[in-house]
Amino acid sequence: MAGPKAPTSLSIGRKDPGIQHTTRFAVRVVTFNRADKMALVHAPADADATHHHHHWELPGAAFDPAEEHAAAVRRAVAGALGARAAPREDVGCVATAEEFRGGIHLMSYCYVADVASDHDDDDDDDDGEEEEVSFAESEAEHGGQGRGEGGGTGRGATATRRHKWVAPKVAKMLMGERQPASEAGLLAKERDMHFLKEARKVLLRMAPPAA
C-alpha cells in the first residue's frame, strides 16, 4: 500500500493585478458512509441566474488560518450533513485549489473523511433519496457551504440544505451534468470535480493489493 503524496494543486480564475484581493480559506470534504457512498450537497441556485439552476457540490466550510484543518473538516461535515466525521489522517490533504474571482483569493483544501454517526443512510441502496439539514445562513454566506468564499464562522438565521449519498461514479455524473449559470458556480464546479478526481486517484493508489 502506497503512502500519501504531496497534494496536487489547481489554479482557477484570473488574478486581477489592478485590485487588492482578500485571501480566504476553505476545506472541501469527500465524505463516505459505511456503505462506501459519497455525500453531495445541493448547492443553492446562482444568485445572478435568471433560472433556478441548482447543482451538486462537495461539503465544505470556511476556516480561520489558526484553526486545525481536521477541526474544519469535522465542522464542514456536521454543518452540511448533520453528522460526525472522522478525517482519514493516513490520507491527508489530497488536493488544493487556488481561486481568483473578483476581489477574492480563495485557497481550498480537499480531505477525505468517514461519517462516524448514524445519520449516513448506510442501509439505503437507492441513489437518489435526499435529506435536509438545517444550517446557519451566515455559514453559507461566509463559506460554511456553498461557495466557501468567506472567513467567518458566526451563526445567524437558519435555513435548510439538501444532500444525498451516492456511489462515487454517480457523484461524478451528478456534479458534471449541470452547468452553473454564474462565474462563481462554474469555478466551484471545476474545483470540486478536480478534488473528486484527485481523491479517487489517491484512494486507489493507497488501496491494499487484491488477494
pLDDT digits (tens, 9 = 90+) for 108-119: 999 999 997 555
Helix axis angle, 168-177 to 183-206, nearest 10°: 160
Give Cα 128 to chain centroid, integer Å: 19
Grid cell digits, residue 70:
481536521
- Nearest C-alpha neighbor of 67 from the set 192, 142, 188, 152: 152
Q: What's this model's pTM, rounded to 2 decimal places?
A: 0.80
Main-chain dihedrals φ then ψ at residue 9, nearest 5 degrees: -125, 140
Q: Within 10 A of 43 (CB to CB), how many other CB atoms are there?
A: 26
**Segment 77-82 mean pLDDT:** 94
**pLDDT over 90, % of the chain:** 55
**Segment 47-60 mean pLDDT:** 68
Q: What is the DSSP letter of 16?
A: -
CATH number of 8-120+131-206: 3.90.79.10
**Segment 179-206 mean pLDDT:** 92
